[in-house]
Structure 1
Amino acid sequence: MVHIGKFNHLEIVNQVPFGFYLDGGELGQILLPTNTAPQGCKQGDWLDVFIYHDSDDRIIATTKNPRAQVDQCAYLKVVSVNNVGAFLDWGLEKDLLVPYSEQDYPMSEGISYVVYLFCDEETNRIAASTRLRDFLPEVATEFEPKQEVSLLICGRTDMGYKAIINGAYLGLIFKDEVFKPIKIGYKLPGFIKRIREDGKIDLCFQFHDTNARGSLAEQIIEDLIAHGGLSTLTDKSPAEEITKRFNVSKSAYKKAIGGLFKQKRILLDKNKITLIDKTK
């Protein structure tokens, strides 16, 4: 069975002056134009080809690699907008349509968006959508805390950033877990922080276990010693300043200085941290 919007392994069954015809099973013979056919290929060869509709709405094959396939997400730029919808550059001759019905909000030319590619069941045509929640679940049982995952940043909220997990689920990174500049479209490694009672997924970029916090605590002590026992970098300081000095999130820094305070190694003030001199 040939899958539109994906790569298929098909046999060349006929050669014509303008290309090669492939055995498309129920879809009949599918043209592979000469300009994308491998040099030296011939009838009887098997090729890996991507199947989609060309500008004339014919099912066609190509050996070019699109930036995403059906059932995948990608960060793509809008190259034009008309009365049908927005069109994205996905690396093929025919641009990819995002119908107005699949836009969470109006899309603008020249701007990139994270979209999900799907094949319309009625027309067999490939389209894309910014309505990610219609295709990707936010509830999962297959993940565990501390599990490493791949993330695609796909949106921003008042609480933090939304991210696509392993290309298949939606999760949330809270603001206090963001310790370096990130933007929509960034692909980053991350971790499952926790699975909430409602099954939704919280994420983080670093999983701060006891050993990690201990190491950070010693870095803070060394920093205090280097600055005469005083630091103005408190738990009220901007996250950017904390990251710049220790390369950790504000949340991790707060936990580390909280541990040092409980150990009576530092004094905490609204505007400063003071190292307790154990020699007195």
Structure 2
Amino acid sequence: MAELTAGTIANLEVSHKAPFGYFLTDGTHEVLLHENDVTGKLNDKDKITVFLYQDHQGRIAATMTIPTVRFNSFDWATATSLHKKYGVFLNIGVSKDLLLSKDDLPYEWIYWPQPGDRVYCSLKLDKKQRLFARLADETVISTLSLPAPEELRNKDVHATIYRLLDDGAHVLTEEGYLGFIHNAETSGTIRIGQSIECRVIAVKENGKLNLSMKPRSYEVIGGNSEKIVAYMNSRDGAMPYWDKSLPEEIKERFGISKGDFKKALGQLMKEGKLYQEDGWSYLKQEETPKSPDQG
């Protein structure tokens, strides 16, 4: 009889009850089914289907929970913890987390999945027959994908990063569309498994998307306008900055370029909320409506 191997599904017989679970047998070998891995009442000689994995001592153990992540069976797994020495541990639905080795991740750990991130993976064994996660490659991911429609241009999509490149990242949207985000269109440090909101800037002929994490220009202006108004409100509606202020002053105070500052001021003036005078900017005070008996 062949050895019982981690990562496989086996049909075993209940040998006997133990204080902490049951021992199962294939007629030659015995493995422990811990009580935490039991999903119903069992009796001696019952035949059950179990998933085999390695416990914390490296011994083969069994669970009645059959994960969808298996050899040659890919599915999403959620990162539970990150350990710089080993890699990232993933929850695949069984009592012991699965390790995604640092050897299969970028050199710098800041690009590794963080707890709560999701990766698409299956199982593999190393030379010592230890069970590890295997990240899906482009060929596997492409089997999940659909060609994107042209009308998706400029729409917002939700996506998961599954591969990092020198010039950007590959993603899969919730709808199953493949996309690429160039480094120039990213926001902050991105990582494998990260869930992101982005917008479609192009739909290519092959149905793949070019995406951006950066806001639209009017959203940038709106955000900067809110920042300026909040600052002015904290100063009774006035500030010693206007569209001729020095770029360094604008950068130091608001953290934005002079060009973006002028666009935001222009928007506020167009909306009738702000005016400039002698190097200062002022918020216009709303007039109090007159009551009917006032002349």
TM-score, length-scaled by structure 2: 0.46
